[in-house]
Amino acid sequence: MFCQSNIGWDRHAWRHATSSLVYYIEISISNEDVANMGKAEILHQIKMAEEHVRVVVKEAEEKRKQLQADGKRRALEKVEAADSDLRKQSDARYGEAKRATDAKKQAVLAEGARKAQALVLRARTNSGKVKALVLSEFERAADA
């Protein structure tokens, strides 16, 4: 029979394997004429059934491991694809926001330059008046 500690199965796998073994043994033995079978033949049939169950369980374990590996690989691929899409969307939004900010910055700078130019022009037009005012004030202070 199977020894749970030698194989290292969990309890569910052990129960499943032993129930499969019992079922397989029952089928094998029921197909034979038990009365004509000796003790050695029955033990041989049991060992053959045990070996069959070992093989089936090993194949199932390998299949489970393969399915797990495939599932992990597919999940990783999906995460990477989603990450890539998110980065593309983020970069696109950042580019749009940067362009909008740059456009506003240029508009503010253009408005500031226009106002500065207007102030310079006004200062030039008023410089003659200011000179005359300063001179008249100086002369009035000197006359007083």
pTM, rounded to two decimals: 0.45
Nearest CA-CA partner of 29 in 38, 16, 42? 42
pLDDT in tens, 77-86: 999 999 999 9
> For the chain, what are the domain ranges?
4-104
Nearest CA-CA partner of 43 in 58, 29, 57, 33? 29
pLDDT in tens, 80-119: 999 999 999 999 999 999 999 999 999 999 999 999 999 9
